[in-house]
């Protein structure tokens, strides 16, 4: 009897581990329990929300005017950049039509979210954002920062979503070198938050320090062309056919406040 009392829950736990790893039968149960315990995030975020509220209340009119002026300047600069971008996009589409290519650049819409907290798991590198299923967010959507890719939504509750970052060791992202298009797969390093390693680039390929890697959209997991990281270390081993490349992520979580979530088509 004592044996059963201990080993029944043990077997249930092992069953849960296997079913969560191999199948997705329990996803709905997980979502329901996540909804039930989501008030915990509310309590955890209460002090920071309070701080933001007090900070906003205490902001002087002059500070707001200065901020507004600065943001208007930034907006004008971005609009000017966008004109060049739009012209290039049009030119690209015309060339595609002339060549009869079927590939089309998709125009994606984004939702703005705020980072609620950073990393509360020992083994996963993730952030919590203040948008959830109430804002039509779903598992798998891509999250971007102002400088580059942050990660992908792995869990949603009505008010919050969990984003698994590109620096997590289980997050594999297809990438390409901006300079010459050489492709590889990046993943995070467990012991270092600020590093990515690139796999499957052969040792005779041309990669140099400072090269910028972008998302390549192979597998359609992440949209193409968003900055991932810059090469900071290259190593070549005689017994290994692949280069050992390390990147410094372009988008870090330090001082990260707002994120953009790509809407599903």
Stretch that binds another protein, among 3-11, 79-87, 97-105, 237-245 (CB under 8 A): 3-11
Q: Which of 15, 51, 53, 258 touches another protein (CB under 8 A)?
A: 15
Q: Near another protein by CB under 8 A, which window of 123-131, 175-183, 217-225, 240-248?
A: 123-131
- Neighbouring CB atoms inside 10 A of 234's CB total 16
- Long-range residue pairs from 238-242, CB within 8 A, at least 24 positions apart, any chain: 240/203, 241/202, 241/203, 242/199, 242/200, 242/201, 242/202, 242/203
**Six token digits for residue 21:** 């790893």
43 or 99: whose CB is closer to another protein? Answer: 43
- Interface residues for another protein in 103-122 (CB under 8 A)? 117-122
CB of 240 to another protein, least distance (A): 18
Mark residues 151-170: x for contact with another protein by CB under 8 A, - for none: ---xx------x-x----xx
Nearer to another protein, 62 or 191 (CB): 191
Token digits of residue 80: 């000017």
Q: What span, in angstroms and rounded, lies between the C-alpha atoms of 110 and 260?
A: 6
Q: Which residues in 174-213 contact another protein (CB under 8 A)?
A: 190-191, 193
Helix (H) or strand (E) holding 195: strand 192-199
Tell me the CA distances in angstroms from 242 to 45, 175, 200, 206, 245, one per residue in order: 44, 15, 6, 12, 9
Among the residue ranges 27-35, 82-90, 177-185, 219-227, the one whose residues contact another protein (CB under 8 A): 27-35
Instruction: State in angstroms the smallest separation of the CB of 190 from another protein.
Output: 5
Q: Which is nearer to another protein, 68 or 120 (CB)?
A: 120
- Confirm if 168 and 151 have CB atoms less than 8 A apart: yes
Q: Determine which residue in the list 3, 5, 107, 255 makes contact with another protein, applying CB under 8 A.
A: 5
Length of the chain: 265
From the number of C-beta atoms within 10 Å of its C-beta (0-12, 13-18, 19+), residue 228 rates as: buried
Cβ atoms 30, 17 nearer than 8 A: no
Closest CB to another protein among residues 99, 123: 123
Closest approach, Cβ 111 to another protein, in A, equals 21
Query: Considering the rule CB under 8 A, would residue 9 count as an interface residue with another protein?
Result: yes
Among 1, 3, 6, 57, binds another protein (CB under 8 A): 6
Classify residue 117 by burial, with Cβ atoms within 10 Å: 0-12, 13-18, 19+: middle
Q: How far is the CB of 36 from another protein (least distance, A)?
A: 9
**Residue 50 and residue 43 in contact, taking contact as beta carbons nearer than 8 Å:** no
- By CB under 8 A, name the binding residues for another protein: 5-6, 8-10, 12-17, 19-21, 26, 30, 33-34, 37, 40-41, 43-44, 117-126, 154-155, 162, 164, 169-170, 190-191, 193
């Amino acid at each position: 009897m004592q044996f059963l009392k201990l080993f029944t829950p043990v077997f249930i736990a092992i069953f849960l581990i296997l079913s969560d790893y191999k199948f997705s039968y329990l996803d709905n149960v997980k979502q329901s329990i996540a909804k039930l315990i989501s008030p915990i995030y509310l309590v955890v975020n209460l002090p920071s929300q309070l701080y933001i509220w007090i900070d906003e209340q205490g902001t002087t009119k002059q500070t707001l005017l200065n901020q507004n002026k600065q943001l208007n300047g930034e907006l004008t600069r971005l609009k000017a950049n966008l004109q060049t971008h739009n012209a290039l996009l049009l030119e690209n589409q015309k060339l595609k039509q002339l060549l009869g290519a079927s590939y089309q650049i998709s125009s994606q819409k984004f939702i703005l979210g705020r980072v609620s907290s950073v990393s509360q798991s020992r083994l996963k590198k993730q952030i919590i954002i203040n948008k959830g299923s109430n804002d039509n967010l779903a598992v798998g959507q891509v999250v971007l920062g102002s400088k580059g890719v942050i990660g992908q939504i792995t869990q949603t509750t009505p008010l919050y979503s969990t984003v698994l970052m590109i620096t997590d060791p289980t997050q594999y992202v297809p990438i390409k070198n901006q300079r010459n298009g050489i492709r590889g797969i990046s993943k995070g390093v467990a012991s270092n938050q600020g590093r990515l390693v690139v796999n499957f680039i052969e040792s005779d390929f041309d990669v140099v320090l400072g090269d910028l890697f972008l998302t390549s959209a192979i597998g359609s997991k992440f949209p193409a062309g968003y900055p991932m990281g810059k090469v900071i270390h290259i190593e070549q081993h005689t017994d290994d056919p692949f280069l050992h490349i390390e990147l410094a992520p372009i988008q870090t979580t330090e001082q990260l406040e707002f994120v953009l979530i790509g809407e599903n088509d």
